Chain A
Amino acid sequence: MKISFTINGEAKSVEVSDGNSPLLWAIRDGLDLKGTKFGCGKAACGACTIHVDGNAVRSCSFPAKLAEGKEITTIEGLSKDGKTHPVQQAWIDEVVPQCGYCQPGFIMATAAMLDKIPNPTDEDIDKNIINVCRCGTYYRMRKAIHRAAKMNGNTDVQ
């Protein structure tokens, strides 16, 4: 079965033998975009988070067939026009990652949240970003999320 969608601004088609197979496999194996990670396979950990039509989605639990005609963004397409996305820049500035495996999912979840909640409180962050990081980088991520919010709003960042 052929599925066509836009991914990171480019029209693409991918062939899958089973339309119910996870979109994650189509992205990683079909399109060779390896930035999106497999974690739990049960929509629990968030390592596979991507954007579908601007909303955070767990791609391990999103049937590939439902991507037909959709606008998809992965970590590879978050930065646009050669400019680092504010969330990615904040991650760099706050030296967030430790092992790094789960970070693409966190970054994508954060970018989606900031589109809806531009100035999140600590509580907003705790409730909306529920991905799992086994290295325990949550404290640094929270700082980075606040920093990214400021960068988005063009306010002074220390």
Chain B
Amino acid sequence: MKKKAIKYFLIATLLTSSVLVFANLTESGTQENTTEYKVGEAPFDKMMEVLTHKRCVNCHPSGNVPRQGEDSHLHNFDVVRGEDGHGLAGYTCNTCHTDENNDYSGVPGAPHWALAPEIMAWEGKTRVEIAQQMMDPKRNGGRSAHDIMEHLTEHELVLWAWEPGVDAEGNPREKPPVPKDEYIQAVKEWIEAGAVIPEE
């Protein structure tokens, strides 16, 4: 009985604590210092709030069909991935999508509009699985951590998520839940601190 009470006390303490402690690692992987973050505000948390959002996952689907819309339904018109992620030979992404949003038709657009390769599918994965996959050169197209940082913080298609335009009914698309500058800072902090993926 006493053991059980102690166990509950420890769990309650963990749950009510609003602070998580993350280790900052040096290049050699040794712990340099610790930084305290409120729950959900650690760089990894902020970054993953964005990467698991529909604006990202819709184009990182688990199958060969893009997702679209706020409910992430399968893309209308039987759109499929095609050999290179740009659709089919006679019916590519650029048949409808250009380098910019079209507020007249509600068709979204950004440079390099395409699906992420199938090995980079995020749909249905946990944030830890996504992070592990994203940082694994065998599953991220041979990218280094620096390459990933550039992709996540500079690529126009990624940053489109904060300027998603309006849908076919003229309604603004939902933006990721973290402001763009905070997200970019979080990605940089996370990667520069060694891209530590928490165990969950």
Contacts and interface: CB of A to CB of B under 8 A. Distances in A.
A20 B102 contact: yes
A63 B102 contact: yes
A112 B90 CA distance: 6
A129 interface: yes
Nearest to A65: B100
23 contacts: A21-B104, A22-B105, A41-B104, A42-B107, A43-B105, A44-B76, A44-B168, A58-B96, A58-B107, A60-B105, A61-B96, A61-B98, A62-B98, A66-B99, A109-B90, A112-B90, A113-B91, A115-B90, A126-B78, A128-B88, A129-B91, A130-B77, A130-B78
Give the interface size class of chain A.
Answer: 20 to 34
Interface string A118-134: 00100010111110000
Interface of B: 76-78, 80, 88-92, 94-96, 98-100, 102-107, 168
B80 A127 contact: yes
A26 interface: no
A47 interface: no
Given A42-B107, A43-B107, A61-B107, A129 B102 contact: no
A56 B95 contact: yes
Nearest to A56: B95
A114 B95 CA distance: 15
B98 A66 contact: yes
Contacts of B104: 20-22, 41, 60-61
B93 to A, nearest CB: 11
Contacts of A112: 90
A72 B123 CA distance: 38
Contacts of A129: 90-91
